[in-house]
């Protein structure tokens, strides 16, 4: 708008201002009247449209979910799998059911086992009606039964097999004993008798010694059994153990020729053969090697065979 000239009269300026005001105001009022509330409702912006579409999708999804739940419930009703309770309990896991069944079976088997054991222990259903003894040659069956002290008819489970074996092994001629239950009605006793290896004369008669140096019998010795010459023969005597080591190391054909073995000390062992020949053995060191060299030397003529040093064996 052009500013009024400074020289114009005041009334003219006022009239022009009023005229401008009267022209402008109707235009503004007319614009406001055109924007009615109905126009605002009919106009939909992008954000409002997006919210409306989301709401419609959620409603459609909710309807689909409700229809699917109704279908499933109808199906469960058809198969009789729905419960009248408002919140039916969840089914027990299959593993828990299996575990409970195994526990119950274990308890039942344990009770049955205990019951069966009590029946067998206190009743003669499985008792010792027969006692079988094996391994005896010199020892008699009566000696074994007397030492075992097992009464016929005793339930097998009441028999302490270890104690019976210890009593039988205490027999002088028995090296070891084993006792076994043989169900339903037998007890088996197996023994190993001592075998004489050397003999020594005593005032009450010849005493027989086994490979362990145990004096187990006073009786005439078997033929060709060598005599042992030591001060105090026994299983703990060093000279006795050294002499037995030498005898057990000999070849069978040589051992059958030994008439006497002397061991005044563990390092000066000598052998006397049945034909009078002598063997200087020495200590028990390298016994296997000495036995091999002696077997070869005895094929040569001589009276004294020295294998105390197996590296330089000699014959005289």
User: Which comes out higher in pLDDT, residue 122 or 9?
Assistant: 122
Average pLDDT on 188-201 reads 97
Residue 77 has pLDDT above 90, yes or no: no
The residue among 283, 252, 257 whose CA lies nearest residue 270 is: 283
pLDDT band per the 50, 70, 90 thresholds, residue 41: very low
Per-chain mean pLDDT for the chain? 83
Predicted pLDDT of residue 7? 42
> Hey, do 97-193 and 196-315 end up sharing a CATH topology, with the first three levels equal?
no
d(Cα 315, Cα 304) in Å, to the nearest integer? 6
User: Which comes out higher in pLDDT, residue 132 or 51?
Assistant: 132
How far are the Cα atoms of 111, 210, 291 from residue 106, in angstroms, in the given order? 9, 53, 63
User: Which comes out higher in pLDDT, residue 214 or 76?
Assistant: 214
Flag the least confident range among 18-22, 285-289, 296-300.
18-22
Predicted pLDDT of residue 16? 40
What superfamily does domain 97-193 belong to in CATH? membrane protein fhac (3.10.20.310)
Predicted pLDDT of residue 95? 73
Query: Does the structural domain 196-315 have CATH classification 3.40.1370.10?
Result: no
Give tens-digit pLDDT for 12-21.
Answer: 343 444 434 4
Residue 11 has pLDDT above 70, yes or no: no
Burial bucket for residue 165 (CB in 10 Å: 0-12, 13-18, 19+):
buried
Predicted pLDDT of residue 80? 65
Residue 291 has pLDDT above 60, yes or no: yes
Give tens-digit pLDDT for 81-128.
Answer: 544 545 555 565 677 777 777 887 888 888 777 666 655 565 666 889
Average pLDDT on 204-220 reads 95
Residue 10 has pLDDT above 70, yes or no: no
* 216 backbone dihedrals φ, ψ, rounded to 5°: -115, -5
Residue 37 has pLDDT above 60, yes or no: no
Flag the least confident range among 27-31, 68-72, 88-92, 116-120.
27-31
User: Which comes out higher in pLDDT, residue 276 or 82?
Assistant: 276
Average pLDDT on 44-72 reads 86
R_g of the chain computed on alpha carbons = 59
Give tens-digit pLDDT for 124-175.
Answer: 668 899 999 999 999 999 999 999 999 999 999 899 999 999 999 999 999 9
Domain range summary for the chain, segments of one domain joined by +: 97-193, 196-315
d(Cα 243, Cα 316) in Å, to the nearest integer? 23
CB–CB of 294/278 below 8 Å? no
Paired strand residues for 273: 258
Residue 2 has pLDDT above 60, yes or no: no
């Amino acid at each position: 708008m052009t500013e009024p000239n400074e020289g114009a009269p005041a009334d003219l300026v006022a009239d022009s201002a009023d005229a401008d005001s009267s022209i402008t105001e109707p235009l503004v009022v007319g614009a406001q009247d055109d924007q009615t509330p109905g126009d605002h409702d009919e106009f939909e912006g992008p954000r409002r449209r997006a919210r409306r579409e989301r709401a419609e999708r959620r409603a459609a999804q909710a309807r689909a979910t409700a229809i699917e739940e109704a279908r499933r419930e109808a199906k469960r009703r058809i198969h009789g799998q729905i419960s009248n309770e408002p919140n039916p309990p969840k089914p027990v896991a299959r593993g828990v059911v299996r575990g409970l069944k195994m526990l119950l079976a274990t308890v039942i088997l344990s009770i049955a086992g205990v019951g069966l054991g009590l029946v067998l222990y206190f009743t003669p259903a499985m008792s010792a009606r027969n006692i079988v003894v094996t391994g005896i040659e010199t020892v008699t069956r009566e000696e074994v039964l007397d030492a075992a002290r097992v009464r016929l008819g005793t339930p097998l489970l009441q028999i302490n097999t270890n104690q019976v074996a210890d009593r039988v092994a205490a027999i002088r001629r028995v090296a070891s004993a084993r006792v076994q239950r043989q169900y339903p009605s037998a007890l088996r006793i197996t023994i190993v008798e001592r075998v004489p290896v050397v003999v020594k004369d005593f005032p009450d008669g010849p005493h027989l010694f086994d490979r362990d140096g145990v004096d187990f019998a006073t009786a005439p010795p078997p033929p060709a059994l060598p005599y042992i010459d030591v001060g105090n023969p026994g299983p703990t005597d060093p000279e006795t153990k050294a002499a037995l080591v030498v005898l057990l190391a000999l070849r069978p054909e040589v051992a059958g020729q030994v008439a006497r073995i002397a061991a005044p000390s563990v390092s000066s062992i000598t052998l006397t053969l049945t034909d009078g020949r002598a063997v200087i053995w020495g200590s028990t060191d390298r016994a296997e090697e000495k036995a091999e060299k002696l077997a070869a030397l005895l094929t040569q003529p001589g009276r004294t065979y020295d294998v105390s040093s197996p590296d330089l064996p000699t014959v005289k």
